[in-house]
Amino acid sequence: MPDRAFSSGRHSPPSQFFWGHFRPLLRLFVVPLLLISLAPTLAQATTTPAPAGPHIDAAQAKQLISVLNDDAKRKQFVTTLSNLTAAQTSTAQKTSLPDQVLTNLSSFGSRTMIQLRVLHQNALNFREIIPWVQHVWQDKSTQSQISCVLLRVALMIVGSFVLIQVMRLLLKLPRNKLDELAKDHDRLQFHREADKLRAASAANAKAEKAEDDSADDQKTSTDAAQPDFEDQLRRQGALSRLLISLHRFPYTFGNAVLDGLVVLMFPLTALLIQSLDPAPTDATLQSVWSIAWISGIGLGLWTILIRALLAPKQPWLRLTVLQDNVAKFLYYSFLHLATVLAWGYTALIVLHHCTLPPDVSLSLEKLLVLVVHAMVAIMILRARGMINHVCDRVATRSPRLAPLMRVIARCWWVVALFFDVALWLVWAANIQGGYDVILRIFVRTCVALVLMRVLSILAYGGLSRIVHALTDSTLTHETQNRILRYYPVAQRLLAVVIAVLTALSLAVAWGAPIYSVFGEHTLGGQLFSSIITIIIALVVGVVAWEVVNVAIENQIRRLGQKDSVEQQNRMARLRTLQPMFRILLLVVLVIVIGLTVLSQLGINTGPLLASASIFGVALGFGSQKLVQDFISGIFLLMENALTVGDSVTLNGTYGVIEKLSLRSVHIRANDGSMNIFSFSSLGQVTNYNRDFSRAMIIVEVGYDVDTDVAVQALLDIAQDMRKDPKFASDIIDDFQLWGVSALNDFSVTVRGTFPTTTSGRWPVEWEFYRRVKKTFEERGITIPFPTRTINLQDVPETGTPHAVPSRPHAPTQGGTNAS
């Protein structure tokens, strides 16, 4: 397996190594520290006696009786108490949420600092070390006692080291001989077992080949027996590894005996010092023999045991079936732990015999155990990769255990670190019943996490089912896209809710006073209520926004699917008003939600509303024209007076509407100019694109023309145009003849109308006049035009003639008559 779990720290920079291994430990250290440090405070809060009532003497009692007996004084006294109670209640109610947050945080910080100070005094008390140093500096007898102890300890360490080196030199030859024999025997045994496995593999290959050549029924029976055969191979491999370990035992035992001879040098050195000491004392003997028994025999036997089981540098002497990197990691981890613990306790014993104060010795002992627990924590963090690899292998071999293995791989190190830190805190702080509390907290935490895991599965599953049900329903594609757009946001919000509920459930499991924090008239209750109100306001605002937008878009889509001109006009009007409705809705939602959030945060919204009202009045006076344009535009658009694309005449200007804004209309005239009119300036609005239109036909004929013939010509032209497919779609009804409408000076006027669509008026009218010209020419119907005859009389040879007033004549088909 890859050795990533403990090789990364060896090759990484020191800072990365420190933070990579100690950051999870520091994070996890905070939780047990707070739990255990605040446990006395919580216990004290639950058992705090009620304050003693105020004491009054006999004179005050008589005065109170006189007040109660007098009706006027009693009423005044009751009124005073009522006012005092009301004032205190109003003061408590007027306290804003931020003030309560600051007050509670300050109180919590003070209590935490007090408990941390108590923990520091109990666990790390070094206040007596300076007086002890001063005492040793001044007391000659104490100096002599310490010198004797330290001298014999130094002799013990140096002498043991010398004897150990001598013994290792003496045992070097037999140790090397034993090591070579063990290596050769292990290699031979390994080859034997490998041959057995190769033979079994060959048999397996033959069975597979025979299976391929057999019939279908035989193939089925062989397939059924194949898993059993593979299991047998695996069992045979495990048995082979076990036999290899058993064959290694004699050589491992011999090597352990040689190591034991080296370990015996510690008690031998202590015995020599005791025999040769001219003035032995209990302090010197106990110091020397503590090194012999704890750092010598105890640490030596532990080293022999783990070397026999793990043997990182000599796999042929290893009794366990482990890979080299795993054996190396475990061996050095256990060796370092035992070394620090053994020599640390030996040093504490020596310092105790050097008259070190008991409180300082106890603090050093707790520091030593803290160092050991920190080493265990580092070992746990470095072993995460190996444990994860083992869990993956188990999950691969047993798919049924895969979910459990994934949970173990994610959580085992957290549990291990929790117990590692919590056990030291309970022991260091000397908390009565602390171990029971740890076990109880652990069980409750597991139950809470399991329940929250089930709740999260149900919540995420329900959310997913709701979204799938909505997307699979008859909703439009755009509506489904809107719903899916909020799905990630809903997942994040649900994750936050589950995280908060998990924190609350863990707090309950850890015995936190939830009711006192989230009860009525408490900071937690107000904070929870404020957060829920704000979330509900935001959700309602988002839902209202989306519902209104979806409703408008669906209405526009339904109107667009219809071919009716009226429905198309309604769609255009609704599309024109849509941006305005969106802006108004957004402004309303922002104001309502903003005021709700501010009020829940404890901010008085009364002055804000008053300021907004004053600002609104000032803005209204300063922008009356703008407001007037805005209001006029709303009514014109709601009355469907104007739509983009309409042909209109506004204030005498004809053109096509290109743009409608909140306060103005943009018209493109026939000459291409852009005319912009504010809605409030529109005095008359003429729209040529409402429901239907009429092509106005006005024809003038001469007095010499029979009007019936002219009318028949017009009817024939109208009938031909209705049959023409080019104009049939633009004409919605028959030609409506109004008749002879006027007798002019030179002509007779015949009028009629051709009902058309709003867009077909001008094409129909222009085509009708073109055909009138051609038909009248074909049928000899004159179209008169005005003529004037000028008579010149008494024209002299030179000079200007005198003009004689002329008399108009009837128009003729030809030119102008002059005489």
> Lowest-pLDDT range, 77-81, 224-228, 299-303, 656-660?
224-228
DSSP code per residue over 390-440: HHHHHHHH-GGGHHHHHHHHHHHHHHHHHHHHHHHHHHHHT-TTHHHHHHH
339: tokens are 């070394």
Measured CA to CA, the distance from residue 361 to residue 432 in angstroms comes to 21
The mean pLDDT value for 117-125 works out to: 61
pLDDT of res. 811? 47
621: tokens are 């006076």
Contacts of 323 (CB under 8 A, 6+ apart): 1
Measured CA to CA, the distance from residue 598 to residue 584 in angstroms comes to 21
Nearest to 418 by CA among 390, 397, 437: 437
Token look-up 């070992």 returns 379
Nearest to 529 by CA among 100, 85, 91: 100
Nearest to 424 by CA among 439, 413, 440, 435: 435
Residue 500 reports pLDDT greater than 60: yes
DSSP code per residue over 707-742: HHHHHHHHHHHHHHHHH-HHHHTTB-S--EEEEEEE
The mean pLDDT value for 23-51 works out to: 45
The model's confidence at residue 336, banded by pLDDT at 50, 70 and 90, is very high
Average pLDDT value over all residues in the chain: 76
Residue 175 reports pLDDT greater than 60: yes
pLDDT of res. 365? 87
**Torsion angle of the four alpha carbons 56, 62, 68, 73, in this order, in degrees rounded to the nearest 10:** -100
pLDDT of res. 340? 94
pLDDT of res. 86? 61
Residues making up the chain, counted from first to last? 819
More confident call, 583 vs 293 = 293
DSSP code per residue over 432-476: TTHHHHHHHHHHHHHHHHHHHHHHHHHHHHHHHHHHHHHHTSS--
pLDDT of res. 102? 57
Strand boundaries in 194-256, DSSP class E: none
pLDDT of res. 107? 62
The model's confidence at residue 759, banded by pLDDT at 50, 70 and 90, is confident
Residue 434 reports pLDDT greater than 50: yes
Measured CA to CA, the distance from residue 459 to residue 498 in angstroms comes to 9
The model's confidence at residue 48, banded by pLDDT at 50, 70 and 90, is very low
Q: Hey, which of 60-69, 144-153, 187-196, 642-651 has the most confident mean pLDDT?
A: 144-153
The mean pLDDT value for 318-343 works out to: 89
* 605-658 pLDDT per residue, tens: 777 777 767 766 666 666 667 777 777 777 777 777 777 778 888 888 888 888
Identify the bridge partners of residue 660 per DSSP, sorted by sequence position: 665
pLDDT of res. 293? 92
The model's confidence at residue 303, banded by pLDDT at 50, 70 and 90, is very high
pLDDT of res. 221? 44
More confident call, 750 vs 87 = 750
The mean pLDDT value for 555-581 works out to: 72
The mean pLDDT value for 580-603 works out to: 80
Q: Hey, which of 14-28, 63-77, 452-466 has the most confident mean pLDDT?
A: 452-466
* 784-811 pLDDT per residue, tens: 877 666 776 665 655 555 555 544 444 4
| C-alpha dihedral sign at 111, 114, 118, 119 | positive
All domains of the chain in start order, with CATH: 132-445 (no CATH), 456-643 (1.10.287.1260), 692-779 (3.30.70.100)
